[in-house]
Chain A
Amino acid sequence: MSAFLTSSLMHNIFGGLAQGVVYSLVALSLVIVWQSTHVLNFAQGAMAMFATYIGMTEIDRGIGYWWCVIISVAVGMIVGGLTERVLIRPLYGKPEINPIVVMVGFLGVLEALSAAIWTSSTRNIAEPFSQIFYHANGNLVYLSPFIIFQIILAICIMLLVAALFRFTRLGLQLRASALAPEVSRLLGIRVSRMLTIGWMLSAGVGAIAAVIQASGSFGLFPTNMDGIFVAGFIAAAVGGLESPIGAVAGGLLIGLAEQFILAYWSPNVAPLGGIIILVVALMIRPQGLFTKHAGRRV
């Protein structure tokens, strides 16, 4: 058993899963926004990064790690709600290019503003669990308490989101307003409030992803979510943007694929790994691997 755990195969699987859950969370947050307002939020990563900066720098004032996580998520949700109200709401019914451009602009503002406030140098955040790898019979296992924590936290968040959509009254209202806004409005659901709540939820999930990413060995810097966002988008697109399960599966797939390309092929082509998967997946099923209904709105 221990020989198996220390094998290079398991090493890559653990590494891939650890990065994959972060991609899954970002993909999940993109899917929530896409379902509620049909906007692909290009500022998702930057919004999460911004919230993480505000929350996690509170550690400097001696506030505990977990309180900082809660502050980050709360700030993320407020930013998400405000973004929907102020930037996205005036653009409903406009060509789909308009919200994309506005969110790209918002991404630029957030990254420049963060660099202005907190400088662009990397800030390490004291992780809540050790990053030292376990050993089995003197050999390294690519698992540390922190990696286990990050995988478990991500799974908990995914389950929470799933439970919210599946079992609560709010979740039902959210799903109804995404599926049939007109009918939902007639049935007394405040659809516009649901759209805001959808954005808040999405931004909260995104903030968790950014907190995990920033607590790890890469640290926190204004562009630290750029690559994560691109991978998360690829994951969501591979899954089809409509399916939360597809997004999570897509994230794990991208994480594992990157790790395996890095290990067994060449680190030079690793940046292309995601894009190759995306192109292949979209050639096979342009509507995404996990969507049930084909066809698009004309």
Chain B
Amino acid sequence: MDWWRSFFRQESTHSRLIGVTALAALTLAITFVLPPVANSELAGGAAIAIVILGLSWLIGWSGQISLGNSGFMAVGAYAAGIWAHHHNTTPLVFTLALAIVAGGLSGLIIAIPSTRLRGPYLAGLTLAFAAAVTPIAQNFTSVTGGEGGIFLNSLVTPSWFGHLFSGANAVINANAQWTADLAVVVAAVSFFFMANLFHSRTGRAMRLVRDNDVAAELMGVDLLRTRSSAFMIAAAYAGLGGALYSLLEASVRPETFPLTLSITLLTLMVLGGIGTLSGAVIGGIIYSFSADLVAHVNSLTGVNPTSNLGANMQGIIFGVLLILTMMFAPRGLVSLRTPIQKLFRILRPRRQTPDLGELH
């Protein structure tokens, strides 16, 4: 089991690269068997997983809370959307890079006052930011398209990819799978960068700042710079995720980024597990199939999905899950040990090593 453990502890860049590539390859393989609807859902989930990862980094590693990630998503999405609307031949990589820069800049602007704040003040300030973004997008009609938003050309499936498909629904299948594969690849690249960041000098400094900022300062860590860079990175991830999500949807609209999206993001992050890569993956998967999940709960409980209760079931379930997870398993689903893992523990008792990545 040793190779297994060292693999999942991601002790070297090499193992991280192999791990992320393996997971991405597995997901890409799965997209070949999924129906087109599930592939579209998966694409959205991959985009959201990127945002969750940024939030996870911010809360789990730097100890700063943000309720404004839906706002950063909107900034990235509008930057990419406005650019793509006027220059629709730009390569996707460039558009996404623009979203990363725009998201990061907005994060930096929020970070400047934020780094002097703690816990509740910070949460409130970021919430106020997220609440302000949607009305601004609705008001500046000439740039953002107002209520209706901006419509974009849908992503072009390359012809070599289209040739892989045949049959009646070849085009639909190819398009759905291409968007899913694209999103998975972008997510894999961002996960790889974050995995390295977790174990870098900055990552270690960040944990020290989170646990004891006085000690960190004594050791020569620049608190202001460390805290604001954490914010900037989280916002850049949100910007990238938001842009990717909007490009997949082929439109940027204010109603994609309501305040409740911040709550959903927080729920998914807490559910998966704060400050872990696998937690963000789990969060993304739950997001992808949350509609199916809710429909399943509705049919199990016999609630009419078109009734008021059925339409609001998702909000109720997510809220209850967030409360229950935070109260009874604050480290999320990744912390729940399966019976098989417990069995291995009993068979091979190991020396307990302190896990620094743990949220205290």
A residues whose Cβ falls under 8 Å from a Cβ of B: 34, 39-40, 42, 87, 90-91, 94-98, 100-102, 104-113, 115-117, 119, 226-227, 230, 233-234, 237, 241, 267-272, 274-275, 278-279, 282-283, 286, 296, 298
Contacts and interface: CB of A to CB of B under 8 A. Distances in A.
Interface string B233-275: 0000000000000000000000000011001001100100000
Contact of A102 (B125, B127, B326): B326
Given A90-B327, A226-B131, A112 B316 contact: yes
A267 to B, nearest CB: 7
Contacts of B263: 104-105, 107-108
Given A113-B316, A271-B131, 5 more contacts: A40-B119, A96-B118, A96-B119, A113-B312, A267-B139
A241 B117 CA distance: 13
B289 interface: no
A16 to B, nearest CB: 18
A227 B308 CA distance: 23
Contact of A116 (B59, B63, B316, B318): B316
Interface string B44-80: 0000000000000001000101010000000000000
Which of B128, B136, B359 has the most chain A CB atoms inside 10 A of its CB? B128
A112 to B, nearest CB: 3
29 contacts: A40-B119, A42-B67, A87-B323, A91-B327, A101-B322, A102-B326, A102-B327, A105-B318, A105-B323, A108-B319, A108-B322, A109-B315, A109-B319, A112-B314, A112-B315, A113-B312, A115-B308, A116-B309, A268-B136, A268-B139, A269-B136, A271-B135, A275-B132, A278-B125, A279-B113, A279-B125, A282-B121, A282-B125, A298-B213
A270 B67 CA distance: 21
A116 B307 CA distance: 8
Nearest to A41: B120
B309 A42 contact: no
A102 B128 contact: no
Contacts of B182: none
B312 to A, nearest CB: 4
A281 B230 CA distance: 23
B52 to A, nearest CB: 14
B315 A115 contact: yes
Contacts of A227: 131
A237 B322 contact: no
B308 A101 contact: no
B322 A102 contact: yes
Interface residues of B, number: 50
B260 to A, nearest CB: 7
Nearest to B127: A230
A100 B65 contact: yes
Contact of A282 (B113, B214, B319, B359): B113
A251 B142 CA distance: 33
A43 B193 CA distance: 35
A241 B322 CA distance: 26
B360 interface: yes
A44 to B, nearest CB: 11
B36 interface: no
Contacts of A274: 128, 132
Contacts of B327: 87, 90-91, 102
A296 B260 contact: no
Contact of A106 (B63, B117, B323): B323
A207 to B, nearest CB: 21
Contacts of B65: 97, 100
A105 B320 contact: yes
A19 B117 CA distance: 27
B58 to A, nearest CB: 11
A91 B326 CA distance: 9
Contacts of A286: 116-117
Nearest to A34: B120
Which of B67, B125, B132 has the most chain A CB atoms inside 10 A of its CB? B132
A177 B259 CA distance: 35
Contacts of B7: none
A129 B163 CA distance: 71
B295 interface: no
Interface in B292-333: 308-309, 311-316, 318-323, 326-327, 330
Given A101-B322, A267-B139, A226 B259 contact: yes
Contacts of A101: 266, 270, 322, 326
A275 B129 contact: yes
B319 A106 contact: yes
Ranked nearest first, the 8 interchain pairs of A and B with the lowest CB-CB distance are A112-B315, A105-B322, A109-B319, A108-B319, A40-B120, A268-B139, A271-B135, A105-B323
Contacts of A111: 260, 315
B244 to A, nearest CB: 25
Contacts of A270: 135
Nearest to B303: A116
B35 interface: no
B132 A272 contact: yes
Given A113-B316, A241-B120, A105 B59 contact: no
Contacts of A282: 113, 116-117, 121, 125
A281 to B, nearest CB: 10
Given A112-B314, A116-B308, A282-B113, A100 B128 contact: no
Contacts of B121: 237, 241, 282
A247 B125 CA distance: 16
Nearest to A234: B128
Nearest to B65: A97
A278 B114 CA distance: 11
Interface in B205-225: 213-214
B128 A230 contact: yes
